[in-house]
Amino acid sequence: MKLIFFRCLFFYLIWPCLGGLAVGEVNDKLNVLFISADDMNCDLSVYGNTQVKTPNLQRLAEMGVRFDNAYCQQPLCGPSRASLMTGLRPDTLDMHTLKHELREKNPNVVTLGQMFRNQGYFSARAGKIYHYGNPSMIGTDGNDDPQTWDQRYNPVGIDRSQQEKITRYGAGREKDKNLGISMAWWDPVSRDEEHTDGKVASKIVDLIKEKKGEPFFLAAGFFNPHCPYVAPKKYFDLYPLETIEMPDLELAKKDLEDVPPMAVMRDKRNWPYYFKDVTVEEARKCKQAYYATISFVDAQVGRLLDALEEADLMDKTIIVFWSDHGYFLGEKGLWYKRKAFERSARMPMIIAAPGLSKNVASQMPVELLDLYPTLADLCGLNAPGNLEGASLRPLLENPKNPKWIKPAVTQVWHNRTAWGYSLRNERFRYTEWMQGKAGRELYDHEIDPEEINNLADQKQYEGMIVELSRQLQPYVQLKSDKRPK
């Protein structure tokens, strides 16, 4: 009895000291399933758009926390993905384009998967985590970082191997044009597993089964809904074309009247829809196809969740879902990303972690680069000391945590004479182009979530603009060769 008493006393005394360990059971490493989509905006049923069917992302959100105001560091695949995988801002990495230069410019950086590898985890990916030209680099390592992974897989589906069957609109109609930036679609009668993303899911399912007895960091990198918009026909059938609504172009044009020219400099030449000679009906078809590819990705997420359940790993696995940035689908007459507006900078992010909040949403502004310190924190790993994000644990414990006051900062870089930074707090988005010399934008999201009315020139907001500009300045760290001479 004395032995039992002292054992109980020891446990009672030592238990409070274990709070800093990883979520989950003591001395039991948590797995990480890291799921990404490409160019996915928040037009999802899980985010309130009831038209776009995402039951498996809803299932995931019920297991964890949905972040309603999550933002990328730059709305372009290459720098966004490099940033989140290093926990460093594009200015720190000196990466603002699609060039393959992560290790060239940052040879000693420790990436997220590399941190897990260094501390006893098996790290692997299937598909796109770092930047890949889509679809041109499907089946290759693209701009991948080999030091991040123990194993990596590059499946190829019919979306790549039979891409001559894809229908193209606008300036990209010619068969030899790059599909990586296109308004193009294909709806073959096919099985999910015939497509690249279906093969990505299959490989991760196999790895979950194979590695269930050891700690793992598995990354499933889906290529959809990035253009060209290709998915099995059954997903297109979820969205009858007559139900797809397009914004009124006359109203859209008015939305841009008070916007600094630099904010849409890449988009106005052939406005609307970026390419010449794209009709509203063709844009409607592309929007239908985009929604279809979202539901296709959602189905693959369901397969991954099923695999975790079948392996009895749900209580031992942190699941993260993210996209690299948002996407325009005709709003303001715009298409694609690479803009500082909300629809381009905001993207879905969901985290389900054992023992933390479930089926709740957080409205606090957060950033993709917060994922690295969050996973290090939750898994009890030693992270590099130079990370520029913050652990989301306080919001995973209390999604309304009033102590979370960090804004989200997104930047856009076109060339050394055209760039800007945008700060998002709980209520406002404030954007400066060329540090204000090329214009400013201010939007009140409490009354103007679509960012229609730019308040930057209104006298009553002068004091607020001064303060928001002051808050933004520490984030403007662009190196001299990226600024005007």
Burial of 279 by CB count in 10 Å (0-12 exposed, 13-18 middle, 19+ buried)?
exposed
Pick the closest to residue 450 from 252, 169, 208 (CA basis): 252
Amino acid identity at 207: L
- DSSP at 278: -
Residues contacting 271, CB < 8 A, separation 6+: 253, 264, 333, 334
> 442: which strand partners?
430
Beta strands in 17-159 (DSSP E): 31-38, 65-67, 70-71, 122-127, 151-153
Can the peptide bond before residue 146 be classed as cis, meaning omega within 30 degrees of 0?
no
CA dist 180 and 378 (Å) reads 36
Distance of alpha carbon 404 from alpha carbon 365, whole angstroms = 9
- Other beta carbons within 10 Å of 312: 9
Catalytic residue among 72, 77, 286, 379: 77
Verify whether residue 77 is a known catalytic residue.
Answer: yes
- Per the CB < 8 A criterion, the answer to whether 411 and 422 are in contact is yes
Q: Which two tokens stand for residue 316?
A: 């031992």
- Among the listed residues 118, 136, 218, 230, the one whose alpha carbon sits nearest the alpha carbon of residue 177: 136
How many Å apart are CA 79 and CA 412, to the nearest integer? Answer: 10
Helices (H) and strands (E) in the chain, counts: 15, 19
Q: Please tell me which residue in 42, 72, 96, 131 is annotated as part of the active site.
A: 131
Catalytic machinery residues? 77, 131
